[in-house]
Chains A and B, each alone.
Chain A
Amino acid sequence: MDKAVESSSLSPSVKEPVLLKTNIVGFNTIVLREFNRIIRIWGQTIVPPAITATLYFVIFGSLIGGRIGDMGGYSYIQYIAPGLIMMSVITNSYGNVVSSFFGAKFGKHIEELLVSPLPGWLIVGGYVMGGITRGLIVGGVVTAITLIFTHLKIYSIGVVISAVLLSSIVFSLAGMINAVFAKNFDQISFIPTFVLTPLTYLGGVFYTIKLLPDWAQGISHANPILYMVNAFRFGFLGVSDVNVGLAYTIMIGAAVVLYVSCVWLLHRGVGTRE
């Protein structure tokens, strides 16, 4: 019989390593399952954002961008490229977790995890890693498309990687909270359509907020996506509309608050247990 099963007869000091091993294998299993899901339905997960990004680059970058001129000291297509990559990372990280977790709730196979010995914090971590995986795959594809249309210089690779990871974590967690509360499929598309998309478009993906009047700049500073897009753009171009240190504080703070909230919701059984 396996150690995980035999553990009930073990002393407390021996139980911890056994549970640690269970947690490691369990975490890897969740991540692998999420990865396989992303690949299995690649037509829904990878192709659409690639087509969307291509259209953005053709229309806003090549056709219209040439008439706009420079922005922030760079050609328009170079200026919007980091924002478009970040937009695809954000929407796909969010979309992966919200659809996978809600799908598991809807199909009841979330119960496979809920009855298992895996703790809530690890289940949340597994789903977030799935969201990061899809965000990075799609981000990589969009970056490759970007390189077809323009040259991308990297100002700070550390900022690029940390900003994309933090943004992906934040929106994976946000997607999970949406999925926890959602009772039907309409409710998992409501937030992306009516909240996420407007915030992304108004988050400085296509323009510098310095073009806006003061009052609009003030409102823009309340948009968390502004900080993510600008931190990421700073990593590529070395220019930002916001203080990069503040952007990191907001991203890390949001990640911590959302992670604790997700674990608490799962522990309480909100939306998952009776």
Chain B
Amino acid sequence: MQALTFQQLTKTYKNGVQALKGIDLAVQEGDFFALLGPNGAGKTTAIGIVTSLVNKSSGKVQVFGHDIDTELAIAKSCIGLVPQEINFNQFETVTTILLNQAGFYGIPRHVASKRLEKYLTALQLWEKRNAVSRTLSGGMKRRLMIARALMHEPRLLILDEPTAGVDIEVRRTMWTFMRDINAAGTTIILTTHYLEEAENLCRHVAIIDKGRIIENDRMSRVLRKLQTEVFVFNLRNPIAAAPVLPGYAVSMPDDHSLEIEVSKEQSLNDIFSQLSASGIEVLSMRNKTNRLEELFMRLVNQKEAAHG
């Protein structure tokens, strides 16, 4: 079954900005789906339409087969939303926020109290259950929004930049939690600026730019479309100039490192041989950029070039 479908979805704001230009999308039940795009691409507008925070201009949206035009309440009861901006009452306690949220979805108090403990414990917030929410740190506020979105145990969880501004340790904890939620059967749609996050977590990816979907495929297939990767070689001794390696584009960001672009057909052994022959000793090596980030930039740039 499809958890979410868009058919020719458009949105034009009152100021004339066309945020969505007829997008089609299908997210399968149980998937961990990345929706990526630069700022202003239309991601948050699309999410806003699904959650009825934004009125669509035209097109069709279905959540687990329920059309938001005809079965809005049922469709909404299937969705949990973690928005980009903090949007809970900063004067209420953590417990009050979660109990109220459960109540808005018809969950009785005794059920909500058990879930509250389960999710606050899983997200390492149980000690803060009686704290007024404005006193929480940024990372805790993000986790509180995740716990809030899960109180009615939605079948579709939409995470809009859930780890923005969160330190790497907390982010990794959140990744583990999200994987567990997905493994338990919840479909997850994730938008993020940390492309490493999408690459690590998601099985499918759609890239949206200027209101259109420019890529939509399995993550592995999308990444295979990368023809080259840039590797950074850290050198034992400083060098005066970048060596000439036939067949490779080489640059020297500083006297202790080299950046070499390697295509799929080329071999790293060949590079090491040539560097050794030039008397250059390599201490370590790493990818310059996240692969998805590289592809993402290429796709967006190609699209811009195609549109002149």
Q: Which A residues form the contact surface with B (CB < 8 A)? A: 1-5, 7-8, 15, 18-19, 21-26, 28-30, 32-33, 36, 40, 104, 107-109, 111-119, 269, 273-274
Contacts and interface: CB of A to CB of B under 8 A. Distances in A.
14 contacts: A4-B77, A4-B106, A7-B74, A8-B78, A36-B96, A108-B85, A111-B53, A112-B87, A115-B81, A117-B73, A117-B77, A274-B53, A274-B54, A274-B55
Given A5-B78, A8-B66, 10 more contacts: A2-B106, A8-B77, A8-B155, A21-B106, A40-B91, A104-B89, A111-B53, A117-B76, A117-B106, A273-B52
Given A33-B100, A111-B87, A19 B73 contact: yes
B299 to A, nearest CB: 27
Interface string B79-104: 10101011111110000100111011
B68 to A, nearest CB: 11
Contacts of A21: 106
Given A2-B111, A33-B100, A109 B106 contact: no
Nearest to B108: A25
Contact of A115 (B76, B91, B107): B76
B79 A4 contact: no
B89 A22 contact: no
Interface in B58-78: 63-66, 72-78
- Residue of B66, B99, B103 contacting most chain A CB atoms (<10 Å): B103
Contact of A116 (B13, B105, B153): B105
A22 B106 contact: yes
Contact of A28 (B53, B66, B88, B103): B103
Contact of B89 (A7, A18, A109): A109
Contact of A108 (B76, B78, B87, B101): B87
Contacts of A15: 74
Contacts, number: 116
B243 interface: no
B65 A115 contact: no
B283 to A, nearest CB: 50
Which are the 5 A-B pairs with shortest beta-carbon distances? A29-B103, A22-B106, A108-B87, A116-B104, A117-B73
A273 B57 CA distance: 13
B103 A7 contact: no
B105 A4 contact: yes
Contact of B87 (A22, A29, A36, A107): A107
Nearest to B86: A108
A210 B66 CA distance: 62
B74 A109 contact: no
B155 A5 contact: yes
Interface of B: 13, 48, 51-55, 63-66, 72-79, 81, 83, 85-91, 96, 99-101, 103-108, 111, 148, 152-155
A264 B76 CA distance: 19
A112 B85 CA distance: 12
Contact of B77 (A5, A32, A36, A114): A5
B162 to A, nearest CB: 16
A273 B51 CA distance: 11
A46 to B, nearest CB: 17
Nearest to B51: A115
Given A4-B105, A112-B87, A117-B74, A269 B152 contact: no
Contact of A274 (B48, B63, B107): B48
B103 A269 contact: no
Contacts of B79: 115
B235 to A, nearest CB: 51
Contacts of B107: 2, 4, 25
A19 B81 CA distance: 20
A111 B89 CA distance: 10
Contacts of A115: 51-53, 76, 79, 81
A22 B112 CA distance: 13
A119 to B, nearest CB: 7
- Residue of A18, A32, A112, A119 contacting most chain B CB atoms (<10 Å): A112
Contacts of B73: 19, 22, 117-119
A127 to B, nearest CB: 13
B64 A8 contact: yes
A267 B76 CA distance: 15
Nearest to A10: B74
B105 A22 contact: yes
Contacts of B74: 7-8, 15, 19, 117
Nearest to A104: B89
A126 to B, nearest CB: 10
B87 A113 contact: no
Nearest to B83: A111
A30 B89 CA distance: 13
- Residue of A22, A24, A269 contacting most chain B CB atoms (<10 Å): A22
A26 B103 contact: yes
A86 to B, nearest CB: 30
